[in-house]
Amino acid sequence: MPELVGIGVSPGRSAGPVFRLAPPPALPEVAPPVTDPDAEVAAARSALAGVAAALRARAASVSGAAAEVLETQAMMAADSTLATAVAARVARGSAAAWAITEAIAEQRETFAQLGGYFAERAADLADIGDRAVADLLGEPMPGLPSPGEPFVLTAEDLSPADTAVLDPADVLAIVTRRGGPTSHTAILARAMGLPAVVGCPDVVTLADATVVSVDGTTGQVTVIDPGEAAGIRERAAADRARLAALTGPGRTADGHPVPLLLNVGGAADLTDDAEGVGLFRTEFLFLGRTSAPTVAEQQAAYTELFAALGQRRVVVRTLDAGADKPLPYLGLAQEENPALGVRGLRVARANPTVLTDQLTAIAGAASATDAQVWVMAPMVATPAEAAGFAQAVRAAGLAVAGAMVEVPAAALHARRLLDHVDFVSIGTNDLSQYTLAADRMSSDLADLLDPWQPAVLDLVATCAAAGREAGKPVGVCGEAAGDPLLALVFVGLGVTSLSMSAPSVPAVRASLAGVTLERCAELARIAVDAPDARTARQAVAATI
């Protein structure tokens, strides 16, 4: 069966016939002459205003991230810069629809040159142009197909307006030719719980009604026999039901416990059945203000979270700021290369009171509550840094000190770090960024940032082995721990706890419950021995 591969950006499986998003309107080959420039400008403005109004109306009918994205797109349609550019094109002899097309093309080019996230906004602009032109030419609005049965939606790329009106009852999955992990398709598909694959060039070769299966975890799109589709959908639905039904602490099929902890920014992110918090980000207290929060203010905020946890564990990460997340009152210099600059624990070199104040506040909150409070520092690179941090933590009266492993040097010398600290926790996003030397904000380097990279897994293995020898816990926090397949690999490598955002917990819990520890170790060997990230993921998925 022909198989197409893209980047899986929203997990889950489904299957059904593909239908393409209705193509954008085409301009007639011969442009009409402009006889009344004022009328053309007025027509163009009115079309753009109509697009803006329609986008605002859609924004009002949805909520959260989808609404925000649509409101921003509505602002673009009503934008004065665009209106001025359109008027200039009319003045040079272009009729309304042509003037809009040209002005949008020029602006898209600017966005595309900026790269990354900005380039992805080019799709929003193209969509505005298509809608305005369809209006001016009296053509149907480009948009979703309605084949009368649930379908796999395929497209060049999806605009916010397209995704916002998707009905998850009609759409089984989404596959786009373009787009990266930060595209709207990815963000909104995850929010809607629809499997999605982006960056799949060959999807355009599929004729409408071709039946495919889509795996939003592995990025595989496979042409299948139409008779198989219903079975795949049923199994996927059964999987989801199974996930929802499972509760309780994380453990493998043979009963080996793996605490499933939460990544939180405050008490609001907690869930009742959570086993604890594996990453409490404290940045929220420090952002958006002109002076550092006082000890009393911090202590009150920490106490709120600790109290909500009862006797459960909470791992507090001390302030992770720096040149990449600038806080004016830290007085840090601008840097050419902030990801490699003064960030995380390094801030304490020049400004130790921010750390000691924070530790004092955490200790105060810990003594006022029953939670098991662990504290860890971000961006530890050397054993000396780990020792210095552990000393500061203990001087504050806190019992358990740890180090995050995000820097390859720290992973390679995890054993020496563990001479000084009580545990380590691996931050996979930064560890991938630093191991592969790939900026984590770059959607062009998504393949390198993949936490399935065998080199990253090797470093995780080194940490786990060091933890085993020292008899100390080695956790993984960061979104990679929430990948139900990769979680098994981590456990097989010897990781003792997994911390993730709350929506990821059920799938990981179910995944763990289905395999023994020995099997996890086997999967880990397969992943580490794979030549690249994609092969690693596919080989593990195929073995399961």
Partner 1 sequence: MPSRDVVVGSRIGLHGRPAATVVRVAAAQPVLVRIGVAGRPPVDASSIIAVLSLGAKGGDTVTVEADGEGAQAALDAMVEVLATDLDAEPADA
Query: Any known ligand binding at 177?
Result: no
* Rounded CA separation 121/103 (Å): 15
Stretch that binds partner 1, among 32-40, 44-52, 110-118, 190-198 (CB under 8 A): 110-118
Shortest separation between residue 404's beta carbon and partner 1, angstroms: 6
Query: Going by C-beta distance under 8 Å and a sequence separation of 6 or more, which residues neighbour residue 381?
Result: 407, 409, 410
Assess whether 463 carries a catalytic annotation. Answer: no
CB of 477 to partner 1, least distance (A): 5
**477 catalytically annotated:** yes
Indicate whether 479 belongs to the interface with partner 1 (CB under 8 A): yes
SS (H, E, C) 352-407: HHHHHHHHHHHHHHHHHCCCEEEEEECCCCCHHHHHHHHHHHHHCCCCEEEEEECC
Residue 179 binds partner 1, judged by CB under 8 A = no
314 within 8 A of 374, measured Cβ to Cβ: yes
Q: Which amino acid belongs to residue 322?
A: G
* DSSP one-letter string for 187-237: HHHHHHT--EEE--GGGGGSPTT-EEEEETTTTEEEE--GGGHHHHHHHHH
Residue 157 in marked binding region: no
Residue type, 525: R
Q: Which is nearer to partner 1, 240 or 440 (CB)?
A: 440
Q: Is 251 known as a binding-site position?
A: no
Question: Among residues 78 and 221, whose Cβ is nearest to partner 1?
Answer: 78
CA dist 358 and 453 (Å) reads 35
Helix-, strand-, coil-residue percentages of the chain, each rounded to 5: 50, 15, 35
First and final CA of the chain: distance in angstroms?
21
Binding-residue pattern over the window 12 to 51 for partner 1, x denoting contact by CB under 8 A? ----------------------------------------
Site for partner 1 in 410-469 (CB under 8 A): 425, 427-430, 440-441
Catalytic entry in 184, 420, 463, 520 = 184
Q: Given the complex with partner 1, which of 127 and 406 has the nearer CB atom? A: 406
Question: One symbol per residue from 191 to 210: x for binding partner 1 (CB under 8 A), - otherwise; what is it?
Answer: --------------------
Residue 312, marked binder: no
Q: Which of 263, 443, 453, 504 binds partner 1 (CB under 8 A)?
A: 263
Residue 408 interacts with partner 1 (CB under 8 A)? no
Do residues 96 and 184 touch, judged by C-beta distance below 8 A? no
Using CB under 8 A as the binding rule, whether residue 404 contacts partner 1 is answered as yes
The whole-angstrom separation of Cα 438 and Cα 448 is 6
Shortest distance (Å) from residue 154 CB to partner 1: 26
Q: Is 38 known as a binding-site position?
A: no
Q: What is the enclosing helix (H) or strand (E) of 133?
A: helix 122-137
Find out whether 406 is annotated in a ligand binding site: yes
110: contact with partner 1 by CB under 8 A? yes
CA-to-CA separations, 386 to 321, 403, 405, 424, 434, in angstroms, rounded: 18, 6, 10, 10, 19
Nearer of residues 26 and 268 to partner 1, judged by Cβ: 268
Asked if residue 394 binds partner 1 (CB under 8 A), the reply is: no
- Measured CA to CA in angstroms, residue 76 lies from 29, 49, 531 at distances of 27, 10, 44
Stretch of residues binding partner 1 (CB under 8 A), selected from 28-36, 114-122, 163-171, 385-393: 114-122
Which residues have C-beta within 8 Å of that of residue 187, sequence separation ≥ 6? 65, 69
Q: Give the residue numbers marked as catalytic.
A: 184, 477
Annotated binding site: 281, 317, 406, 429-430, 440
Annotated binding site for Mg(2+): 406, 430
Binding stretches for partner 1 (CB under 8 A): 68, 71-72, 75-76, 79-82, 107, 110-111, 114, 117-118, 121, 125, 263, 265, 279, 281, 283-284, 287-288, 290, 317, 320, 323-326, 328, 334-335, 338, 378, 404, 406, 425, 427-430, 440-441, 477-479
